[in-house]
């Protein structure tokens, strides 16, 4: 069964899918880590692949930028292709000087300035949190590989460029440690469908210090994050 955004057939996609935002990062992960990867999607150049990692079937697919994009792709993966474990592997901006470039975050929860949860017509504010099973396994995976990780709360923002350069300090004051643009929607979709989701992030730039990585470094340099995620399959 194909969708307007995915040409895969039922069975082409594994129950565990890694979701980098950049489709070229999906291609890099497939070619670098998976055995015998097969491309299942190229619609809108949102590349998706399925292969084998340590004897287990695993898929990786780009999710695009922002809440609407990952909202569409994750919904279709869950409801049209039977995906049970969705693991976002992405980049983020640090809100604290304690987090350096290439540090890794396991997103325990996601705050947001998005209206994504309004669709559920809840009588309050939904707290979007990771699936405990994946979060716990990811922490164990990191420890076994001697990779330091920070577990904490992040912000999923609809805004990349803001006229208020100090806005991040308000979130940092609530111990929100980093910002990205997708996790809240992913966690909402997973919670609503009763499946598992986790976001693993690598710090690509620091809002607090102004440091940043290059696009090529973000595409190919975040290897520790991939090592943690792939062990969850």
Active-site residue numbers?
A: 205
Q: CA 118 to CA 14: how far, in whole Å? A: 30
Helices (H) and strands (E) in the chain, counts: 7, 10
Residues 131 and 139 sit within 8 Å (Cβ to Cβ): no
Which candidate, 178, 195, 177, places its Cα nearest to that of 186? Answer: 195
Q: CA 55 to CA 62: how far, in whole Å? A: 23
DSSP states along 43-61: GGG--EEEEEETTEEEEEE
The token duo for 85 is: 């474990």
Q: What share of the chain is helix, strand, coil (3-state, %, to 5)?
A: 35, 30, 35
Q: Where are the beta strands (DSSP E) in 2-115?
A: 16-19, 35-41, 48-53, 56-61, 85-94, 104-112
């Amino acid at each position: 069964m194909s969708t307007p955004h995915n040409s895969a057939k039922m069975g082409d996609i594994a129950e565990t899918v890694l979701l980098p935002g950049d489709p070229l990062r999906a291609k890099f992960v497939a070619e670098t880590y998976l055995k015998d990867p097969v491309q299942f999607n190229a619609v809108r150049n949102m590349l998706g692949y399925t292969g084998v990692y340590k004897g287990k079937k695993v898929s990786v697919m780009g999710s695009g930028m922002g809440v609407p994009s990952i909202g569409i792709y994750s919904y279709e993966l869950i409801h049209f292709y039977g995906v049970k474990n969705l693991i976002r592997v992405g980049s983020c901006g640090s809100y604290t000087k304690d987090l350096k470039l290439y540090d890794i975050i396991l997103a325990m929860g996601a705050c947001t300035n998005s209206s994504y949860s309004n669709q559920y017509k809840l009588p309050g504010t939904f707290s979007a949190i990771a699936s405990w099973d994946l979060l716990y396994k990811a922490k164990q995976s990191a420890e076994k590989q001697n990779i330091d990780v920070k577990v904490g709360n992040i912000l999923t923002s609809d805004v990349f460029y803001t006229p208020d350069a100090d806005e991040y300090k308000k979130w940092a004051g609530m111990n929100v440690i980093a910002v990205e643009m997708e996790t809240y929607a992913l966690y909402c979709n997973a919670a609503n469908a009763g499946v598992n989701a986790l976001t693993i992030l690598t710090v690509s730039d620091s809002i607090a210090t102004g440091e940043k990585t290059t696009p090529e470094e973000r595409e190919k340099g975040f290897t520790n994050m991939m090592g943690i995620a792939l062990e969850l399959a």
